[in-house]
Structure formats: C-alpha cells, structure tokens
Amino acid sequence: MIKKQQYKDINDTLKHIKIQIIDSVPFALNKCPAFKDPETLFNWLKKRVTYKNDPKGIELLQTLPTLLHNNWHNVPGAGDCDCFTISTIALIIAQGWKNVKIILVGRSKGAPVHIYTVIYWKGSRKVLDLTNKKYNQERTYPLIQELPVNWENW
C-alpha cells in the first residue's frame, strides 16, 4: 500500500509510518528471510533498495511489499528514508527483536530532515540507515531525537 498526501507535520507522518509498518509485517513474516543479526538484515535490504526523493510537496510512505515490488516510482526498491525506515522496522518486528528506535535528525527544532532506524543489539547501538553505504554508519546532525518503537504494545 502507498500512502500519498501533502506533508502536514512530523506527528502526522509518524502516525502514518506506524500504520505502514503494521501493514508491512505480514509480508516480512511470510516472504522475507530470517536474519541472524541486524547487519545481515541491513545487507539483504540494502541490495534491494535505491534512494529516490518523494514527489515535490508530497509525503510518500510505502509499505515493504510495495517498496520492493510495485512502488510509486515504478522502480523496484525505489523510495526515500521514511520508506526505508518502514521496511527496516517491519523486518525487525518479524524477527521478534526488541529495543528499536526511530531516529529523527535535523538542523532546526521541529523540522526533521532525515529518519532512520536504530536497534540496541547485545548492548550496542546499531544504525540501520539505508541511505548510507554501510551498516552502522551515521551522519552527524545538530539535532537528534530517538523515539522508542514499542511494537509489542501495538
């Protein structure tokens, strides 16, 4: 499923990201492999995605199956950071892993410019930002916010 709407604010976007994650989990459970760790998950998904900006003025949020197979750009795997975040979190939930965070970063308060996933794995903070070339790679921004993904209570 694709959610396409005018951008309102970050809270509205986060609400719809949660819905897209929930809609993605059955596909992650039934059509994707099991992963031994977050790095394996990252590498599997990284091979399948390509960064593509949203249409101007539109917030485009794609579920995992839509991103990989039938997406808005008509290019398998084409999406942006919020689509990649939806996908990584859905795959993490399918693995049953806990201690997951959505990371919002930006240059000014109230206006994040980037979103990605972090998981605390065996005591270490691991970054799953598919806009970067490598696993556990993180760019520096002046402002960072970590939001817990309490999927066990959804």
Domains of the chain: 2-153 (3.10.620)
pLDDT, tens digit (0-9, with 9 covering 90-100), for 84-95: 999 999 999 999
Amino acid at 13: T
Local structure of residue 122 (DSSP, 8 states)? T
Among 3-7, 8-12, 95-99, 130-134, which stretch is predicted with the lowest mean pLDDT?
A: 3-7
CA distance to 21, 24, 50, 99, 101, per residue, from 47 (Å): 20, 19, 8, 25, 23
pLDDT cut 70: percent of the chain above it: 95
pLDDT in tens, 43-53: 999 999 999 99
Distance CA 26, CA 43 (A): 21
